Structure 1
């Protein structure tokens, strides 16, 4: 069974997180580090994946609004469409070597979904999948989004799990480019505030189970 080192950060600027992932992907490729899971939050930011690059039709807020709110729109190297990140949303960036037995993109995405489904269940929230769509849902509302990058079977980017964000912020976009669907959170489902720290613990346990890893927590320096 492989080791998984979990690095828990506070709030990290999106561009800084991307640069950190680039460094760690190369380190993982050269076996300088074991499999890693980065857990963090981002300041308010809108990101566009490969499916939405240079397109603005899924960004509903005008430039003046985004500027006033100091919200950047960043094109990124992950798959998927437009998404929003912000405080109260737990973001997970696995840096994994999928070789030799997990070289299957679809399986990897489904495993990330399973992590969030299991974590939600630990709080009594019954989340699941929707045929033909990526992510984790409660009814027609998205609880967790996924956008990954895999280079020579080393993973980066990952998942965004709505714990207790300001859901009104998602009104600035068409989340993941899917119209006529809502967005929810653990706090909204439970009608009480849920702490990020508690969800981190649930996600780590679920990730260990789904990916069959032995967890070793690490305090980032």
Structure 2
């Protein structure tokens, strides 16, 4: 399937959230799928059924409730966000398989860096050892997917200490830089893109 890729730079969460919803509402069967790569200004996001008790302290970082699945996570500069605006009906797979393919894209990327990463069937995301390096949250509406994944590249991880990441107390987080790979967010996006396209069967990019 065709895929259009957009690089949005560093942007606030809420306008992009609104844009994802608008894009999904306006989709037709002919709409080309899109991948949006970006970084967010500091923000905590809470899933549709997320519990505020997983926010452990008050900070000046805004907390925004969204319509994705999952609990609370942190987004900030130095983290690669990949929003996947996909016509799920075209894929002819189940939700669990979709999650596995997205996770596999990150696992394949980490393998390029000779870093062993893995998923967890009980806790979506990608891990290196016991530490989480990528989080995943999706929304499927009218057969279309939006939201996506966040991958820690080179960021201040401190705000994760002020929450139970993804609802798990004492969950460790890590990032690509701390594993010995020094690349910018945009460079990691370029390295991740072919893995996403391969695992999601996005055969070519349409500019």
Q: Is the 8 A contact 1:121 1:127 kept in 2?
A: yes
C-alpha distance in 2, partners of 1:100/1:214? 13
1:166 aligns with 2:156: yes
What is the deviation of 1:26? 2.3
Q: Is the 8 A contact 1:14 1:43 kept in 2?
A: yes
Cα RMSD for the two superposed structures: 1.5
C-alpha distance in 1, partners of 2:90/2:9? 33
TM-score, normalising length: structure 1: 0.88
1:141 aligns with 2:100: no
Match of 1:157, SS state, is: strand
Q: What is aligned with 1:127?
A: 117
Q: Is the 8 A contact 1:94 1:156 kept in 2?
A: yes
Gapped runs of 5+ residues in structure 2? none
Q: Is the 8 A contact 2:87 2:143 kept in 1?
A: yes
Alignment of 1:88-127 (within 5 A): 88-127=78-117
Match of 2:41, SS state, is: coil
Match of 1:39, SS state, is: strand
C-alpha distance in 1, partners of 2:188/2:206? 15
C-alpha distance in 2, partners of 1:23/1:112? 23
C-alpha distance in 1, partners of 2:74/2:188? 19
Q: Provide, for residues 69-104 of structure 1, a one-character-per-residue CA deviation record: whole Å limited to 9, x for no partner.
A: xx1100000000000000010011111112144341
C-alpha distance in 2, partners of 1:109/1:207? 12
1:79 aligns with 2:77: no
1:61 aligns with 2:57: yes
What is the deviation of 1:131? 4.0
Q: What is aligned with 1:26?
A: 25
Q: Provide, for residues 122-170 of structure 1, a one-character-per-residue CA deviation record: whole Å limited to 9, x for no partner.
A: 2222111134111000011001000100012200001001111111121
C-alpha distance in 2, partners of 1:176/1:151? 22
Match of 1:57, SS state, is: helix
Q: Say how many residue pairs are matched.
A: 207
Gapped runs of 5+ residues in structure 1? none
Match of 2:3, SS state, is: strand
